[in-house]
Amino acid sequence: MNNAILLQRAMSVLDLCTQDLALRLNSDYIDSITSQDTVRRWVNGASSVEPAALAWLAELLRFQALASTKSIITWPSKQSITICVANMKGGTGKTTVAINLAVVSQIDFGIYTTHYSSEECAEYHAIRDSLSRVGVKSLPLSQWGMENLSNARQINIVDIPLEQTHSALIESRTKENCKLRPDILLIPGDYGRRYHAAGARRTLGLDGIESIIRLLHIPELMNTDFANTCLEAGIDVTSELFLPFFIPCSPLGGSHIPIDRSAIWRNPEQKFHYEKLLEYIINLLGGSIMQPDEAAESIRDMDMKQLLDHME
């Protein structure tokens, strides 16, 4: 019976009907003829599945899994993760971080991702267009928390504009809808600049933020004095609040994402940094991400059930 279930799952993943499977088995592998009726009996559990046919299907699954090896994600215990990006100073890289993270999450890690940004921002439509061209769902900030969240694994990335920091992070929390609580609040900025650091300090000072907070340094120049600038603003760069790595500014400006689904990142180095950032966040929340080369190693050792769990 269990084998019938494995067979059904494999047929669904490989998109094979009973007729296709009988044909493939006859042409690819088995010496004896396998009729469509035999396959049907395997599928409905009336007779047990030929072990060699299952082994053949497992190799077909393995081949497909290896051909499209992506990272393997061990999800944190919480299914729906919300990452907010805010800083109570304008122009600190909030929008850039939110967009790049959303694209890495959806495209590079294959996670169902929704990006929220304010309709009141002049760039709103341009952002929506460029995200939809690469297949990332983008919604107005006003819809954050209104979506009927299923139990599916998903990441919500929320770009909070300067003027709405208080209302989005503090006032909304008093509403009954507790979906609005971020799991992690990222505060980006060039911490070598006094105003960016001061904006971060103000954000940290908001009364009532309960999420994990991390400060992300995006230096425009390799300013060796940024620790002192932070200290003046009351931020200790050696505290765990500060991310243990930074994302250097790119000479190309803030937008590095692919132009459409078939294109590659305009700046692969930035892609690398944002992958690392997302990996860090997933780890912080109790999950992990296995990189594609490591994932391929593990796919080679998987049994059929593990392959199906990985591919479904």
Return residues touching ligand ATP (CB under 6 A): 90-96, 161-162, 218, 247, 249-250, 253-254
Q: Which of 271, 276, 285 lies closest to 81, judged by CA? A: 285
Nearest to 243 by CA among 189, 286, 207: 189
CB of 83 to Mg ion, least distance (A): 15
CB 76, CB 82: distance < 8 Å = no
Binding at 184: pick from ligand ATP, Mg ion, none (beta carbon under 5-8 Å per type): none
Nearer to ligand ATP, 255 or 306 (CB): 255
Amino acid at 10: A
Q: Please, which residue, 253 or 286, has the CB nearer to ligand ATP?
A: 253
Least Å distance between CB 91 and Mg ion? 8
Of 34 and 92, the one with the shorter C-beta distance to ligand ATP is 92
Residue type, 117: S
CB of 191 to ligand ATP, least distance (A): 13
CB of 92 to ligand ATP, least distance (A): 4
Contact partners, residue 166, CB within 8 Å, separation at least 6: 206
Supply the minimum distance, in Å, between the C-beta of residue 219 and ligand ATP. Answer: 9
42 vs 242, beta carbon nearer ligand ATP: 242
Sole residue written with tokens 């392959």: 307
Q: Give 85's strand partners.
A: 159, 186
Which residue number is nearest to ligand ATP in terms of Cβ? 254
Residue 112 CB, nearest distance to ligand ATP (Å)?
Answer: 24
> How many Å apart are CA 22 and CA 67, to the nearest integer?
24
Please choose which of ligand ATP, Mg ion, none residue 93 contacts, taking the beta carbon within 5 to 8 angstroms, the exact cut-off set by kind: ligand ATP
3-state helix, strand, coil in the chain (%, to 5): 45, 15, 40
* Minimum CB distance to Mg ion smaller for 126 or for 252: 126
Q: Mark the segment that binds Mg ion (CB under 5 A) among 88-96, 108-116, 149-157, 243-251.
A: 88-96
- Of the pair 86, 311, the CB lying nearest Mg ion is at 86
Backbone phi and psi for residue 82, each to the nearest 5 degrees, phi listed first:
-115, 125
* CA of residue 219 relative to chain centroid, distance: 24
Q: Does 92 bind Mg ion (CB under 5 A)?
A: no
Q: Binding mask 14-53 vs Mg ion (x if CB under 5 A, - otherwise)?
A: ----------------------------------------
Q: How far, in Å, CA of 24 to CA of 250, rounded?
A: 51
Sheet holding 184-189, edge to edge: 137-140, 113-117, 154-159, 80-85, 184-189, 212-217
CA-angle at 302, arms to 283 and 275, nearest 5°: 30
The label of the residue with tokens 């009141």 reads: 120
- Whose structure tokens read 């008093």? 174
Name which of 169, 188, 27 is nearest 94 in CA terms.
Answer: 188
Closest separation between CB of residue 213 and Mg ion, Å?
19
When the beta carbons of 11 and 257 are compared against Mg ion, the nearer one is 257
Which of 72/136 has CB closer to Mg ion?
136
Residue 54 C-beta: closest distance to ligand ATP, Å: 50
Please identify which residue in 38, 71, 87, 95 interacts with Mg ion, judged by CB under 5 A: 95
Would you tell me which residues interact with Mg ion (CB under 5 A)? 94-95
